[in-house]
Amino acid sequence: MEATDPLVERARSVRARAYAPYSGFPVGAAIEADDGAIFEGCNVENASYGLTICAERVALATGVAAGRTRFRKLALVTGGAEPVAPCGACRQVLAEFAPDLEIVSAASVATRRWRLAELLPAPFRRDKGEGAG
Ligand code: THU
């Protein structure tokens, strides 16, 4: 039995506040900044479906709004047996601030770990394109 990870526990507690009436799939996320501060997020769905915001992006944006732009670890908590990896949109948004973020994802049975660089090895970077000099 693995020791309890405090970041996972923060993600687990905010999951209770997810607004997921359409999917029935509540997600909790907690992201730790380089200075140790932790920011929480849950998914926020919408009647138009496509405007849904994932838990990861809510957590990240909350940290940015609090003045953080460097992050070291993300925890995700979902239901179901198997852990989920962040969706493609969230990978790109997370890579803006932490291209090699440590990610831990806990479901009811299993836990998985990744580095963001393995999930998104080639993020879009504006400074890698035209005009970068
Ligand atoms: N969702 C997240 O919040 N994070 C993920 O990593 C996977 C998907 C949300 C979006 C939607 O509200 C629900 O889970 C089902 O896709």
Q: Is the CB of 87 under 6 A from ligand 1?
A: yes
| Alpha-carbon gap, residue 107 to 39, rounded angstroms | 20
Q: Assess whether the C-beta atom of 52 lies below 6 angstroms from ligand 1.
A: yes
In a domain, 125, yes or no: no
Quick check: is 100 in a domain?
yes
Q: How many separate domains does the chain show? A: 1
Kindly state the tokens that stand for 34.
């380089």
Q: Please work out whether the CB of residue 46 comes within 6 Å of at least one atom of ligand 1.
A: no
53 lies in some domain? yes
In a domain, 79, yes or no: yes
Residue 131 is predicted with a pLDDT of 66
Question: Is there a catalytic annotation at residue 82?
Answer: no
Span 85-105, average pLDDT: 98
pLDDT at 128: 75
Angle of the 55-65 helix axis to the 6-15 helix axis, nearest 10:
110
Q: pLDDT category, 133, cuts 50, 70, 90?
A: low
3-state secondary structure 39-97: EEEECECCCCCCCCECHHHHHHHHHHHCCCCCEEEEEEECCCCCCCCCCHHHHHHHHCC
Measuring from atom 4 of ligand 1, which residue has the nearest CA? 54
- 18 within a domain of the structure (yes/no): yes
Residue 66 lies in a domain: yes
Q: Active site residue: 2, 45, 56, 96, which one? A: 56
Q: Is residue 15 situated within a structural domain?
A: yes
Confirm if 14 and 113 have CB atoms less than 8 A apart.
no
- Residue 98 domain-assigned? yes
Range of the domain at 26: 6-119
The string of pLDDT tens digits covering residues 13-66 is: 999 999 999 999 999 999 999 999 999 999 999 999 999 999 999 999 999 999
Cα 21 to ligand 1 centre (Å): 12
Q: State the pTM of this model.
A: 0.95
Q: Which atom of ligand 1 is nearest to the CA of 86?
A: 6
- CATH number for the domain including 43? 3.40.140.10
